[in-house]
Amino acid sequence: MHGLVSPQQASFAKPVLADVEQLNLWAMEGRLDVTKLSFHALGHVLDDYVMLSSGAALGRGCGPLLVSKNKAFVPGEQSRIAIPGTYTTAALLLALFAPEAVRTVVMRFDRIMDAVNKGEVDGGVIIHEGRFTYQSMGLFCAQDLGRWWEEETGFPIPLGCIVARASLGDSVQSDINQGIRQSLQWIRKHPGAGREYIRVHAQELDDKVLDDHIGLYVNNFSEHIGDEGILAVRELLRRGRDGGVFPDTGELEWVG
C-alpha cells in the first residue's frame, strides 16, 4: 500500500480498518479476501481460509488480562464479565479458564475498563493497549489469562493471525504471505517510521505505551510462526473442539 515492499502478484486497495470482532464476523461471512482475525474465529472458518505464517500475534507474556476493581476478585457463576467480542481469543481463554463464568457481556475492547470502573460489570477481559494502562485506572489483574495458558500447556499464546481466502490459490497466497513478511522486516529495521500512521488509528497516544505495545506483539513469531507456533495453534483449536466451541470443520492449513 505504501510502496515499500513489492509483492509480485497481489495488490492491495486502501485497507479496511475495523474492530477485531467486526473482522471476525466479516471473515465468518466470507466478505474479505485477506484479513486479520482472532485464532478463536479461525476455528470457525477453516473450510474457507488458510492461515498465513507471517503476521500473527503470538507470544509469551502478552495474553489478555482479567481485571476488576476488587483485588481479590474470583470469577464465579454470577459474575458479569465483559469480553471484547464473542469470537475473540480473549473470550475463548476466559471460557477455558473459568467455564462457570457464563454471564459474559460483549462490548468494544476500548469500553471495557471504563465499564469495570463504573461497576457496570464485575470484571473485564482486556486486550491491546489496556494491558499497559489498567493500573492507572485503579484496576487490578485478577488473572493473566496468557500466563495461565502458558502454564497449562507450555506453549506461547496464539492471539490473532492473518488469513487468505482458500480459493485464491497457492501462488497468490504465498505472494501475500511474503509481502507481509517483507513489510514486517522493513518496519523492524526502521522502528520509528510507522509511528504517525499508527498514532492516527491508536486508542492510546502515549509514545511509551505505543512502543511497548508494538514491542510485545510484533515479534519473531510475527515474521514466521514456526513449528512451536503451529503446535500452539493446534492445541488451542483442539481444546476449543473438545470444549464444543468449534464446529467440526477442516484441518488447519497454512502458507509458508
Query: What pLDDT score does 19 carry?
Result: 87
Determine the average pLDDT of the residues in 136-150.
Answer: 95
**196 pLDDT above the threshold of 90:** no
- Residue of 74, 255, 88, 61 lying closest to 148 (CA atoms): 61
Same domain, 168 and 235: yes
User: Residue 12: inside a domain, yes or no?
Assistant: no
Q: Enter the C-alpha cell of residue 204.
A: 492510546
Which of 6-10, 17-21, 38-42, 49-53 comes out lowest in average pLDDT?
A: 6-10
Are residues 101 and 228 both part of a single domain? no
Work out the percent of the chain whose per-residue pLDDT is above 70. 84
Give the pLDDT mean for 51-62: 93
Choose the final residue of a domain: 153, 188, 205: 153
Mark whether 117 and 196 lie in a shared domain. no
Same domain assignment for residues 111 and 163: no
**Residues 215 and 165 reside in one and the same domain:** yes
Q: How confident is the model at residue 243 (pLDDT cuts 50, 70, 90)?
A: confident
Per the structure, the count of domains in the chain is: 2
Same domain, 85 and 110: yes
Same domain, 175 and 53: yes
The answer to whether residue 165 is domain-embedded is yes
128 catalytically annotated:
yes
**For 92, how many CA atoms within 13 A lie in the half-sphere containing its CB?**
31
Q: Which residue has the higher pLDDT, 107 or 16?
A: 107
What pLDDT, on a 0 to 100 scale, did the predictor assign at position 199? Answer: 62
93 falls within a domain: yes
From 153, 170, 192, give the residue that closes a domain: 153
Q: Which amino acid is at 154?
A: G
Query: What is the reported pLDDT for 100?
Result: 76
Final residue before a domain boundary, out of 153, 170, 191 = 153
My answer on whether 31 and 139 are in the same domain is: no
Examine residue 172 and state whether it is found in any structural domain, yes or no: yes
Lowest model confidence (mean pLDDT) among 42-46, 59-63, 182-186, 191-195:
191-195
User: What CATH number should be reported for the domain holding residue 145?
Assistant: 3.40.190.10
Residues 52 and 161 grouped into a single domain: yes
- Predicted confidence at residue 201, as pLDDT, reads 56
- If you average pLDDT over residues 174-186, what whole number do you get? 89
Q: How far is CA 145 from CA 97, 117, 149, 164, in A?
A: 7, 20, 6, 28
**Same domain? 165 vs 243:** yes
Per-residue pLDDT of 73-113, as tens digits, reads 988 878 999 999 999 999 999 999 988 766 899 999 999 99
Of residues 211 and 49, which shows the higher confidence score? Answer: 49
> Do 131 and 199 share a domain, yes or no?
no
Asked if 74 and 117 sit in the same domain, the reply is: yes
Band (156; pLDDT cuts 50, 70, 90): very high
List the one residue out of 61, 100, 33 whose CA is nearest residue 212: 61
Catalytic residue among 128, 201, 213, 224: 128
Q: Which helix (DSSP H) or strand (DSSP E) does residue 158 occupy?
A: strand 157-165
Average pLDDT, the chain: 87
Domain membership of residue 124 as a residue range: 65-153
- Phi/psi at 158 (5° precision): -80, 120
Residue 50 placed within a domain: yes
